[in-house]
Amino acid sequence: MTGVLRPGHVQLRVLDMEAGVHHYRDILGMQETGRDAEGRVYLKCRDEFDHHSIILRETDQAGMDFVGFKVLDLPTLDDFEKKLQAYGVETHRIAAGDLLETGERVRFTTPSGHQVELYAEKTLVGNGCGDTNPKPWDPKVTHGISPVRMDHLLLFGPNVPETLKLFTEVLGFNLVERVLGPDGETNIIVFLSCSIKSHDIAFAHYDEPGKLHHVSFLMDSWEQVLRGGDIMSMEDVPVDIGPTRHGVTRGQTIYAWDPSGNRFEIFKEDRQPYPDHPPLTWTLDGLGAGGGLDYVQRKLHETFLSVVT
C-alpha cells in the first residue's frame, strides 16, 4: 500500500489540435474543461472528479510528453520527492498553475526514458451527479464512447527491470503480471498497480526510450466496449486489435489510434489483484500463442510490438 493514488493526467502530443479535440471530446466523449495560454486543451472523462485527465498539446511529433500520478496529499508528495532523491533519481519541481487547476508537480525521468510526475492537488470539479443523494451517472455528460475514466498506460522503452525496481521500491507499486523474455528470466513487460486495479501503468522493453504504446480508458461493461467499437467504425477511427479479451489482466479490450497515431484502448477491467498474491507470469510464447495479448485469437498481432509513438 502506497500513497500514490492513480495516474491522474497524461499530456499527449497531437499533430492537429482540431482533429485531436474532435477525437477525444466528440468521439471518445470526454468533456473539454479548459484551454491554457500555450494552447493546450484539457479534458476529463464522465466519472472523473478532477479537472482533467488528458491534456493535448499540438506539435509535429505524436507521443506522450509526460504522465502524472496523483498522490494522497502534500506531505506524501514531499515524502516521495525525498525518497526519489535518496534513491538517486534527479527530480525537479514544476510550479503550481503550470497546468490549469493543478498544484506543484515533482518531475523525474524513468530508466525507460519517460517523464513522470507526482502531484497532490488538482481542482475537484465533480462528475455532475451531485454530492447529496447523487445520481448514479449524469446523462448530460454521457455521449460518444463515454469511458468512465482514464485508467492506465503502457509505455515502451529500455531498462524495464530498473524501471520496475524504481516503481516498486520507491513508489510502492505492486508487480501484478509480467512477461518474460526469450531467456525465460528477464521481465520484458511488467504490469504495475498502486491499488487493486489490474494495472495503473505498464512498461515494455523497446530500444528507443520514452515511447507511448497506449493510454487506456475504462468502460463499464463488455457491452459498452462493443458499442465503443461501433462508434469507432462509424467515425472512421482506425482499429488495431479487438474487441477481444487480453489474457494478461483478463481485460476486455479494443485498441485503436487517435488521428495523430497515438494508440488508445477502451477496456473493461476483469481482475482486482491484491499485493499478497504472487505476480502472474507469461512466457513470450504465452503472450502470443498462449493468449496473453488476445485470449480468443491466441496470436501476437504484429502491431503490438512494433507500433508506438
Q: Does 199 interact with a copy of itself (rule: CB under 8 A)?
A: no
| DSSP state letter for 1 | -
Q: Does 278 interact with a copy of itself (rule: CB under 8 A)?
A: yes
Whether 214 is catalytic is yes
Exactly one of 171, 280, 293, 305 binds a copy of itself (CB under 8 A); that residue is: 280
CA-wise closest residue to 148 among 76, 214, 53, 56:
53
For residues 242 and 256, give the distance between their C-alpha atoms in angstroms, rounded to a whole number: 9
Identified catalytic residue from 9, 152, 205, 213: 152
Q: Does 232 interact with a copy of itself (rule: CB under 8 A)?
A: yes
Identified catalytic residue from 23, 51, 52, 199: 199
For residues 203 and 158, give the distance between their C-alpha atoms in angstroms, rounded to a whole number: 9
Exactly one of 35, 57, 107, 298 binds a copy of itself (CB under 8 A); that residue is: 298
Q: Does 88 interact with a copy of itself (rule: CB under 8 A)?
A: no
CA-wise closest residue to 42 among 70, 72, 71, 8:
8
Whether 255 is catalytic is yes
Q: Which is nearer to a copy of itself, 56 or 293 (CB)?
A: 293
For 265, counting Cβ atoms within 10 Å of its Cβ (0-12 exposed, 13-18 middle, 19+ buried), the class is buried
CA-wise closest residue to 190 among 177, 199, 181:
177
Whether 9 is catalytic is no
Q: Please, what is the minimum distance in Å from the beta carbon of residue 11 to a copy of itself?
A: 21
For residues 169 and 61, give the distance between their C-alpha atoms in angstroms, rounded to a whole number: 33
Q: Please, what is the minimum distance in Å from the beta carbon of residue 184 to a copy of itself?
A: 11
DSSP string for residues in 262-288 = -EEEEEE------TTSPPEEE-HHHHH
CB atoms within 10 A of CB 31: 18
Q: Does 185 interact with a copy of itself (rule: CB under 8 A)?
A: no
Q: Does 296 interact with a copy of itself (rule: CB under 8 A)?
A: yes
Whether 51 is catalytic is no
Whether 143 is catalytic is no
Q: Which is nearer to a copy of itself, 56 or 280 (CB)?
A: 280
DSSP string for residues in 20-63 = HHIIIIIIS-PEEEEE-TT--EEEE-TT--BS-SEEEEE-SS-E
Q: String of b and e for 61-87 (b: at least 16 CB within 10 Å)?
A: ebbbbbbbbbbeeeebbeebbeebeee
Q: Does 252 interact with a copy of itself (rule: CB under 8 A)?
A: yes
Q: Which is nearer to a copy of itself, 61 or 133 (CB)?
A: 133
Q: Which is nearer to a copy of itself, 6 or 40 (CB)?
A: 6
Identified catalytic residue from 24, 101, 214, 269: 214
Stretch that binds a copy of itself, among 55-63, 152-160, 201-209, 237-245 (CB under 8 A): 237-245
Q: Are strands 280-282 and 174-180 parallel, antiparallel or unpaired?
A: parallel
Q: Does 83 interact with a copy of itself (rule: CB under 8 A)?
A: no
Name, in order, each residue with C-beta under 8 angstroms of 222's C-beta and a sequence gap of 6 or more: 243, 252, 268
8 A C-beta contact, residue 266 and residue 225: yes
Q: Does 133 interact with a copy of itself (rule: CB under 8 A)?
A: yes
Q: Please, what is the minimum distance in Å from the beta carbon of residue 244 to a copy of itself?
A: 6
Identified catalytic residue from 101, 104, 255, 269: 255
Contact positions toward a copy of itself, by CB under 8 A? Answer: 1-3, 5-6, 49, 70, 72-73, 124, 131-137, 139, 195-197, 220-223, 226, 229-234, 239, 242-245, 247, 250, 252, 254, 270, 272, 274-278, 280-283, 286, 290-292, 295-298
The residues annotated with a catalytic role in the active site are: 152, 199, 214, 246, 255, 265
